[in-house]
Chains A and B, each alone.
Chain A
Amino acid sequence: MLVAMGLTIIFGALGVVNFAHGSFYALGAYAGVVAYERTGSFVAAMAAGALSLLLVGILVERVLIRLYYNRPKEDQILVTFGAAIVLVETLRALFGGLAQRLPVPSWGEGAVNLGATFYPTYRVQVLGIVACALVILYLVLYRTRLGLIVRAGIEDQLMVNILGINVTRTFLTVFGLGAMSAGFAGVINGPIVTVTPDMGADVLVQSFVVIVIGGVGSFWGALVGGLIAGEILSLTAMIAPAYSQVMLFAAMALVLILRPQGLFGVQGRQ
């Protein structure tokens, strides 16, 4: 959901559908692995994942995305798609294609008794960490000057331009911030999933589902979209497990056909 949030603010404020977002997530996980191996500290790994992706995001925006704001949406999709290939293959070249392990931090070992079942402690903690990160993101977006500009940009980019706000720098910050949340998510998910160069692909596609259902460019939409997507998966998993993924994409297609702005989307953006 954190990944989807990064994707949605980038799309909302910049109008760019970032196909490289999944590779940011993978990159974050690898940064975490490297930092963990050096320091042995999971907190350091989290910091490394977030900060290095902030830098990568800034770099990618500076070198590439900036050239594309005035080009057709199709070109933006193409270039971020290409950037994703480059980033993922760089990871593969550096670390090989085999899975890396990011161990569960010491404070997350063991399992908690949730009445009926035991659940790994770390997964519960991840819920908490994600909730905290979302709250921070919320505060940044809704309680700061930067957040105000970003949200204004989501509503009407041209108007923000006209008001004489330095949009270029804001775009840079937003892109960096979006990449950062993806990188951070990559680290905290590292112990749960296997860390491979291709780990971002599924996450990217799922994020698309989430933000499309919720409404592209909307904070609350991404939140609700994530919950709905989760519900669809677990409900159909009970009734007809073979169809759970199919249903997810069917829901996405249905929303796009009937209500392209999503459940919470801003109307009139194309």
Chain B
Amino acid sequence: MSGATRSARDPRALLPELAVAIGLLLLPFILPHLGGTIDLAQRILDWGLFGLGFDILFGFTGLLAFGQAAFFGAGGFVAAYLLTAPYTDNALLALVAGTVVAAALGTVIGLLSLRRAGIYFAMLTLAFGEMGYFLDISPLAAWTGGENGIAGVPTPRLALGPWALDLATPMATYWLLAVLFFLGFWLAHRIIGSPFGLVLRAIRDNEARASAVGHDVQKYKLAAFVIAAAYAGLAGGLLGLLQGYMPPDAFYLDTSGQLVVQTVIGGAGTLIGPLVGATVWLYLYTVLQTVVNLGSLGKLLLGLIFVVLVTVLRGGICGGVVLLWHRLRRAPAPVEPPIAAPAAAPAGPADAMPVRQRAACDGPIVLRAEGLTKRYSGLVAVDGVAFELAEGEIRAVIGPNGAGKSTFFNMLASVIPASTGEVHFRGERITGLDVARVCQRGLAKSFQINQLFTTLTVRDNVLIAALARYGGRFTPAMLRDVHGIAALAALTDETLAAVQLADRAGTKVAALAYGEKRRLEIGIALATRPSVLLLDEPMAGMSPIERADTVRLLKRIAQGISIVIVEHDMDVIFELADRITVLYNGRKIAEGTPEAIQADPQVRAAYLGSPVDHELA
């Protein structure tokens, strides 16, 4: 297992941490020569820390939140209040309290906001952010000082057991921030490299499929939201400490907006991007204001940079650097795939296929549907279909276009809910369960239209699916390096070999040829280790050679699992299927062996149109 032990002990895995550490060490010595101050360096780090959490939420999970100020402010005011009341003189304790409160708030707001997606999610977070601001300045003014904020936050004094440390100088405060940022970065990097982080990226790329392979997407999104809130709370607390004053600005909508802009300018999905963005933003802002006295032009310039970056370079500054790096290092990142080479490699003449004996279909029933019906207002797409699948069987579902095959299929796998009727899987009623739960029980589905995680590599795509089976829920293993788990790597390698994509493992999905994407689509479903596999037109759009290849692949897969397949290619169907179910106008009109179906007059009528039907109509 070469893949299993990779990177776990690879010193290069710590390269980003090393780079960040060097940057942090150098920053306070470089900045003064560029017109900045140590105070500027402090604020850059604080915003960078704030952004680390936001990047996990926005850059890696794809959730654009416009209310991060609520957590920044909450953490800040809790810490400042504790230190000025004073309930404690231990800055560390106050920071932890602020972080915990922010995370708790994040849990509540996250639970509510994540019920919606896209722009509605953004607007919900915006509403909660504004609520935080108005709560702060008016009803809570007795504690927060209202529009005056909390002044006189004492200089940080750290106490850890018997040691106490006063950080009176700005430089000392900077080192505190630097250490915290480094720890924050290390943790965030760890999170992103873990199975948990991989699932977050999967959600960003294709939420529906992440759920379909068995991940409880809502829980992951909430976790990301809470992590972002905690980082925001810590950064907010530090803001009060380093300024000696906690301003109500922390709650402004502008604060949330500035965070978004900084993250995008620096590069979302890079962790270090927000820090870079904060550097650009704060540097331009302060330096133009104090040195050249062109304060307002600074923000105008930033706005222009932002618009241009969003339009042409969505990866931000860091994304641009990476792109340039790839270009300079000869390899133009995505290479055109060799057309038919990988598919043709083990191909032989069609008659050399492994002969699979037709299954007897007398095993125990694994999947059973009763009276399955789907109504769309007036239209009945599927009408009371009964269906039984035996262990080890390959069953084809055929029917003319619009017969209700895909709808029927989606109901079997709980992708869409049935109007009436029930589905039982291995004796358990699965009707009404969500698709993730169904998949965890061992019923997986591949899709008619590719549903892949497009920005990730082939290997990661399969790994995401394998993860769901390996530990679909949270376990402590979720914070280990995702590439270091041997059992997972073994399952992934095995699946990649099965769909003949082992040599393309490191390739980004976007660079795959169409046929390869189709095989990966099957591979993702396969990697969830299903006992029943539903394949929705797996050969749609394939060339004849690729079809022959895929038939061979399916025969190999079928050793040990049951398959239901929807397909238009009749040659494929008669080659593969043990039994065939025919749907027509939402009803089941025939079921039986391929020979029986071929001879069935009703089936012929459905496909070719029967003159008798027309006369009756």
Choose from A77, A82, A249 the contact partner of B130 (Cβ within 8 Å): A249
Contact B138 A242 (CB under 8 A): yes
Cβ contacts under 8 Å, B120 to chain A: 256, 260
In A94-108, the 8 Å CB interface with B consists of: 97
User: Does the CB pair A256–B119 fall under 8 Å?
Assistant: no
Nearest-neighbor residue (CB-CB) of B299 within chain A:
A89
Q: Given A83-B307, A89-B299, A260-B120, decide whether A253 and B261 contact each other with a Cβ distance below 8 A.
A: no
Whether a CB of chain B sits under 8 angstroms from the CB of A201 is yes
Q: How far is the CB of B605 from chain A (nearest CB, A)?
A: 33
User: Could you say which of B109-117, B319-327, B428-436, B519-527 contacts chain A?
Assistant: B109-117
Q: Which of B94-102, B121-129, B528-536 contacts its partner?
A: B121-129
Q: Least Cβ distance of B314 to chain A in Å?
A: 7
Contacts of A257 in B (CB 8 A): 112, 115-116, 124
Q: Does B220 contact A (CB under 8 A)?
A: no
Q: Does B139 count as interface, using CB distance less than 8 angstroms? A: yes
Contact with A along B275-312 (1 / 0, CB 8 A): 00000000000000000000011011011101100110
Interface residues in A197-223 by Cβ distance below 8 A to B read 201, 205, 208-209, 212
Give A257 to B297 CA distance when docked, in angstroms. 40
1/0 contact trace for B372-391 toward A, CB 8 Å? 00000000000000000000
Contacting B at CB under 8 A, from A206-253, are 208-209, 212, 242-243, 245-246, 249-250, 252-253
| A67: B residues at CB distance < 8 A | 311
Contact, CB under 8 Å: B296 / A89:
yes
Q: Distance in Å from the Cβ of B55 to the closest Cβ of chain A? A: 14
Residue A86, interface by CB 8 Å = yes
B135 at the interface (CB under 8 A from A): yes
CA distance A83 to B134 in the complex (A): 26
**Bound CA–CA A144/B264 (angstroms):** 42
Give the distance to chain A from B412, nearest Cβ to Cβ, in Å. 25
A59 at the interface (CB under 8 A from B): no
Question: Within 8 Å CB of A143, what residues of B?
Answer: none
Known contacts A74-B122, A246-B134, A246-B139: A260-B116 contact under CB 8 Å? yes
Q: Does B350 contact A (CB under 8 A)?
A: no
Tell me which residues across on chain A come within 8 A of B62, comparing CB atoms. Answer: 74
Q: Tell me, rounded to whole Å, the shortest Cβ–Cβ distance linking B3 to chain A.
A: 33
A85 sits at the interface (CB 8 A): yes
**Complex Cα gap A209–B130 (Å):** 11
Pair A81/B260 contact, Cβ less than 8 Å = yes
Known contacts A74-B62, A260-B116: does B299 contact A85 (CB below 8 Å)? yes
Contact B261 A85 (CB under 8 A): yes
CB neighbours of B306 from chain A (8 A): 78, 82, 85
Q: Which residue of B has the minimal Cβ distance to A206?
A: B130
Which residues of the partner chain B approach A73 to less than 8 Å between Cβ atoms? Answer: 118-119
Number of interface residues of A (CB under 8 A): 36
Q: Are B116 and A93 in contact (CB under 8 A)?
A: no
Partner of A86, one of B264, B307, B311: B307
Tell whether A250 pairs with B131 under 8 Å between CB atoms, given A17-B119, A208-B123, A260-B116: yes
- Closest B residue to A84 by beta carbon equals B303
Residue of B64, B124, B257, B296 with most partner-chain A CB within 10 A: B296
Q: How far is the CB of A232 from chain B (nearest CB, A)?
A: 13
Instruction: Say what secondary structure dominates the interface of chain B.
Output: helix
Task: List residues of chain B with CB within 8 A of the CB of A252.
Answer: 123, 127
Contacts of A267 in B (CB 8 A): none
**In B124-165, which residues have CB < 8 Å from any A CB?**
124, 126-128, 130-131, 134-135, 138-139
Q: Which residues of B contact A17 (CB under 8 A)?
A: 119, 122-123
| In the complex, per-residue mask of B55-68: 1 if CB is within 8 Å of any chain A CB, else 0 | 00000001010100
Known: A79-B307, A270-B118. A89 touches B300 (CB 8 A): yes
The digit string for B67-110, where 1 denotes a CB below 8 A from any CB of A, is: 00000000000000000000000000000000000000000000
**Is B296's CB under 8 angstroms from A245's CB?**
no
Complex: chain A residue closest to B307, CB-CB:
A82
Q: Which among B112, B126, B139 has the greatest number of chain A C-beta atoms within 10 A?
A: B126
| Distance (whole angstroms) from the CB of A85 to the closest CB of chain B | 3
B253 CB–A CB distance under 8 Å: yes
- B237-274 interface bits toward A, Cβ cutoff 8 Å, 1 = contact, 0 = none: 00000000000000001100100110010000000000
Q: Is the CB of B134 within 8 A of A245?
A: yes
Q: With a CB–CB cut-off of 8 A, which chain B residues contact A97?
A: 296
**Distance of A17 Cα from B138 Cα, bound (Å):** 30
Which residues of B sit under 8 angstroms from A212, Cβ to Cβ?
123, 127
A contact residues around B257 at 8 Å (CB): 81
Which of the residues B124, B300, B307, B314 comes within 8 Å of A256, measured between beta carbons? Answer: B124
Contact A93 B307 (CB under 8 A): no
Pick from A93, A242, A246: contact of B131, CB under 8 Å? A246
Q: How far is the CA of A82 from the CA of B311 in the complex (A)?
A: 10
Whether the Cβ atoms of B134 and A249 lie closer than 8 Å is yes
Distance between A242 CB and nearest chain B CB, rounded to angstroms: 4
Closest residue on chain A to residue B141 by CB atoms: A242
- Min C-beta distance of B280 to chain A, whole Å: 14
Partner of B307, one of A64, A243, A246, A249: A64
Jot down 10 A-B pairs with beta carbons below 8 A, ordered by A.
A17-B122, A73-B118, A79-B307, A81-B257, A82-B307, A85-B299, A89-B299, A246-B131, A249-B131, A257-B115
Q: List residues of B whose CB falls within 8 A of some A CB.
A: 62, 64, 66, 112, 115-120, 122-124, 126-128, 130-131, 134-135, 138-139, 253-254, 257, 260-261, 264, 296-297, 299-300, 302-304, 306-307, 310-311, 314
Q: Which 7 A-B pairs have the closest CB atoms?
A: A85-B303, A89-B300, A86-B303, A245-B134, A82-B307, A242-B138, A82-B306
- Sample of 16 more A-B contacts, CB < 8 Å, known A74-B122, A79-B311: A74-B62, A75-B314, A78-B260, A79-B310, A83-B303, A85-B299, A86-B300, A89-B303, A92-B299, A92-B300, A93-B296, A209-B127, A246-B134, A249-B134, A253-B112, A257-B115
